[in-house]
Structure 1
């Protein structure tokens, strides 16, 4: 009963917003813009990066943004909800991409704002990622952006040789939570009348739902699991 009341409230609001469940991988391509092999390679690099530095960098690529808020406001809420980074160090960062609007946004946790200041994030977006995207080289742009973020933050903290997911077991989004999320997205899409306009991948027309492994974590060592990091809006963005 409460679930359906909540769904009705979300669907009724003009500014309906969906916060996706925390991913189970460091590299998450819900839009299918890179090859599975490239995705696995980047996920493995980011997994090892947490082991070496304790920093958590996550990439999240979506067909579209499910919010009427600005990209800046929406992505900081998502990053905060996911808890990317260690709780005591707040050393997380998330690279968001939204294919439909061509938006790129880097959100930086409090503990990495010194290593990844807004100006550097802007340069990474404008000089490393966006030019390659405009040429259709999504894999190259993501590799360049991720490697630049890793290089900038590498010396900030010492790693433990483990990931949060490795210490506590692989993070898998609860089946019940995923079902609720799917229902909310479907209801919002129906209310907005965009059923024929959403991006699809491998036969599914619901936004952000993919049979290609969207919620399946990549690297060995437990997959991604947020450590309780915090975000306050540091970072920068742009378009391609």
Structure 2
């Protein structure tokens, strides 16, 4: 009798394990299908995939030519441009990471790919940066590069905007690896000057700190106690922001660096 019960229990566990295995397999398979459906298959030219048909031939040739020059280097960085009509409800950060990885952009030894993604109907654009280039193409700098082309994007001058953005990325990559200027000195680098709103932010922080220490002094707290409280508050705030950032996703092998804009 005990043997019969054990046999039934074993069969029940086996069926459960089989069902779980099938469920996991189907889930992974479905996820793979969904990801492949959401990303765009690169064109035969690879570096330029213009699904929105907004890039003229001159700009496409320019992007191809620069990348072909990079192919001859040791580092072999890759800068791909992809335009699509719509993200189909997906956020551009997630789409860009998946597109980046589906294309396996950049040299695997340097992780130095860059994706410039434009969704024309959604009026969104993003530069996704590989981990190996995040030092030279940090989020703030990438944001400035996009900001410099906002006027062209807003009026629909997509070819010019994408060329300008591409050229700015090229300048940064050349600087990182010490390449000769493939643009022959004809393209100035986007200004690195501190923007006015950045100055005002600094002023507000300084004034806020002065008010804080003044209030602490009125309450009879020592400088050490005031600094301790400020440190405790800062650490708590940073911990909260880190948790939120992790839950938003958007990292992976692309490094998760870059910037997005609506226009």
Distance 1:140 1:133 in 2: 9
2:258 equivalent to 1:235: yes
Sort the Cα spacing of 1:38 and 1:55 in 2 relative to 1 into closer, same or farther, 3 A.
same
Once superposed, which parts of structure 1, at least 4 consecutive aligned residues long, lie more than 4 Å away?
none
2:48 equivalent to 1:27: yes
Provide the residue aligned with 2:106 in structure 1: 85
Q: CA deviation at 1:61?
A: 0.6
2:121 equivalent to 1:100: yes
Provide the residue aligned with 1:69 in structure 2: 90
Distance 1:74 1:144 in 2: 22
Distance 1:151 1:30 in 2: 26
Q: CA deviation at 1:155?
A: 3.1
How much is the aligned-residue C-alpha RMSD, in angstroms?
2.8
Provide the residue aligned with 1:140 in structure 2: 160
TM-score of the two chains, using structure 1 as the length reference: 0.59
2:61 equivalent to 1:36: no
Provide the residue aligned with 1:115 in structure 2: 136
Structure 2, unmatched stretches of 5+, are 1-25, 180-251
CA contact (8 A) 2:38 2:95 kept: no
Distance 2:173 2:165 in 1: 13
Q: CA deviation at 1:33?
A: 0.8
Report matched runs for 1:212-227 at 5 Å: none
* 1:34-60, Cα deviation, whole Å (9 max, x unpaired): 222332232222322343452110000
Sort the Cα spacing of 1:22 and 1:16 in 2 relative to 1 into closer, same or farther, 3 A.
closer
Higher normalized helix content (fraction of residues):
2
Structure with the greater relative contact order (CA < 8 A, sep ≥ 6): 1 or 2?
1
Q: CA deviation at 1:27?
A: 1.8
2:73 equivalent to 1:47: no
SS of alignment partner, residue 100 of structure 1: coil
Distance 1:84 1:23 in 2: 14
Q: Who wins on radius of gyration, i.e. which is larger?
A: 2
Distance 2:121 2:254 in 1: 25
TM-score of the two chains, using structure 2 as the length reference: 0.55
Structure 1, unmatched stretches of 5+, are 160-228
CA contact (8 A) 1:31 1:61 kept: yes
**How many residues are matched?**
161
Provide the residue aligned with 2:150 in structure 1: 130
